Amino acid sequence: MGWGAFVAAAIAIGIYAEAPAPMRGGGERMLRRVPAPPRDLPALLDAFGVGSTTWYMAAAAFPFLLWGARHVQVSHERRGRALLLGLGLLVSLIAASAVINFAVMYGGAPSRPSLMQYLPVGLRENVLPWLALAGIVTAVEARRRSLHAMVERERLRAEVAEQRLIALTGQLHPHFLFNTLQGISTLIHRDAEAADEMLAKLSDLLRDVLRHRDHVLVPIENEIRFVRTYLEIAQLRFAGRLTFTVDASPDVAEASVPLFILQPLVENALAHGIGAQARGGCIRVGATRADDHLVLEVADDGAGMPNGAPSREGIGLSNTRERLRASFGDDQRLVVEGRPGRGTRARIEMPYRKHRSPSASSVPAPL
């Protein structure tokens, strides 16, 4: 329907551009030696060839040429064949338009040249219009193929990024599982009932995590639920020496976050903050929104860090940085800071994005 409208518009412009009958001549001469200057817009358009037989042929052929160019395979092996096919078609169109022009201009004229006498002039007149049309078709199709290739590259890059994020997330599970099972093993001999409860919570957590193992992004409510269950498991392991709060403000309810992004930060707080002191302590997990960014924080009131920052980063922090970089490029930040005896705070800033269903979700590629 769109191409039909294009052809109709070209025909309408051609009819509008036709010059008055006296200006077109009766066919006594093949070409006017000194054409009169255009008197108005229709005459000006006619001087540029708008409304000629070639104009109508080009308008009718344009959609078919585009369709043909779209279906021609221009691979390295078939490039020569495609070029020969295009040249052959171009020569055929030039020759056909010259013959049709001759029939239209001199059909029924009392004095007219022969077709062979007219062909050199007719071919010369039709070469440039058809070359221009071929150039337009080539440019349009080249841009279409370029955009298609760019979209395909972005799709492949997103798939690679997604698989990379899944692999990075998978690296966390054995480490987390090992620590939790070690805690259960310790509790079995000291408090069998607590070990049983810890095992049940671990089972619930693993079931929930495995349900989302192929999703690199999850709703923040899922991530909060993971963290809460993990802290409940840790609470059993620490035997009353641990308290915690998990708070997400209402304006982040629809946020999307990388799966298990908070777990390494909570694990660091447990291992280096709360676990380093006999009295235990408190861990606070929060999620807030700052303009167009989501802010996640994990803070503890434990031993803190001597230099205000970690001397070296372990697997958990480096993995988290890598996952954030792979998901959001440079539009993200992870800062870990603390003071001796006053605890440690880890803060993540990332773009705020509403979560979409897994079927429609995709991994944000770095810009």
The model's pLDDT over 103-144, given as tens digits with 9 standing for 90+, comes to 887 777 777 777 788 788 788 788 888 888 888 888 888 888
Whether 363 shows a pLDDT value over 90: the answer reads no
Cα 275–Cα 277–Cα 280 angle in degrees, nearest 5: 70
Between 263 and 32, name the one with better pLDDT: 263
Q: How much is the mean pLDDT over the chain?
A: 77
Between 171 and 106, name the one with better pLDDT: 106
Whether 367 shows a pLDDT value over 50: the answer reads no
Amino acid 346: pLDDT: 92
**242-248 and 256-258 beta bridge pairing:** unpaired
Residue whose entry in the numeric block shows the structure tokens 């200057």: 37
Whether 167 shows a pLDDT value over 70: the answer reads no
Amino acid 347: pLDDT: 94
Distance of CA 347 to the CA centre of its chain: 28
| Tokens at 313, concatenated | 């980063």
Whether 344 shows a pLDDT value over 70: the answer reads yes
Residues 6+ apart with CB under 8 A from 120: none
Residues 6+ apart with CB under 8 A from 365: 154, 157, 158, 161, 329
User: pLDDT band at residue 348, thresholds of 50, 70 and 90?
Assistant: very high
User: pLDDT band at residue 244, thresholds of 50, 70 and 90?
Assistant: very high
For 280, half-sphere exposure in the C-beta direction (CA atoms, 13 angstrom radius) is: 13
**CB-based contact 262:319 (threshold 8 Å):** no
User: pLDDT band at residue 308, thresholds of 50, 70 and 90?
Assistant: low
> In percent, how much of the chain has pLDDT > 90?
10
User: pLDDT band at residue 10, thresholds of 50, 70 and 90?
Assistant: low
How far apart CA 18 and CA 48 sit, in angstroms, is 11
**217-219 and 242-248 beta bridge pairing:** unpaired
Whole-structure pTM value: 0.53
**What pairs with residue 343 in β-bridges?**
339
Amino acid 144: pLDDT: 87
How far apart CA 255 and CA 220 sit, in angstroms, is 6
How far apart CA 305 and CA 346 sit, in angstroms, is 12
pLDDT, tens digit (0-9, with 9 covering 90-100), for 64-89? 888 888 877 766 556 777 788 888 88
User: pLDDT band at residue 55, thresholds of 50, 70 and 90?
Assistant: confident
Whether 164 shows a pLDDT value over 70: the answer reads no
φ/ψ of 300, rounded to 5, equals -135, 165
Amino acid 272: pLDDT: 78
**CB-based contact 364:324 (threshold 8 Å):** no
How far, in Å, are 254, 255, 285, 291, 324 from residue 249 at the CA level?
Answer: 11, 11, 11, 13, 22
Amino acid 202: pLDDT: 81
Whether 230 shows a pLDDT value over 70: the answer reads yes
Could you give the domains of the chain?
2-21+37-150 (no CATH), 191-351 (3.30.565.10)
Lowest mean pLDDT among 100-104, 214-218, 241-245, 357-361: 357-361
Whether 273 shows a pLDDT value over 80: the answer reads no
Annotate 154-216 with DSSP letters as a single string.
Answer: HHHHHHHHHHHHHHHHHHHHHHHHHHHHHHHHHHHHH-HHHHHHHHHHHHHHHHHHHHTTT-S
User: pLDDT band at residue 26, thresholds of 50, 70 and 90?
Assistant: very low
Between 270 and 8, name the one with better pLDDT: 270
Which three-class secondary structure state does DSSP give residue 9? helix
User: pLDDT band at residue 295, thresholds of 50, 70 and 90?
Assistant: very high
Whether 148 shows a pLDDT value over 60: the answer reads yes
Largest alpha-carbon pair distance within the chain? Answer: 119
User: pLDDT band at residue 22, thresholds of 50, 70 and 90?
Assistant: very low
Whether 324 shows a pLDDT value over 50: the answer reads yes
**Neighbouring C-beta atoms of residue 57, cutoff 10 Å:** 19
Lowest mean pLDDT among 132-136, 168-172, 187-191: 168-172
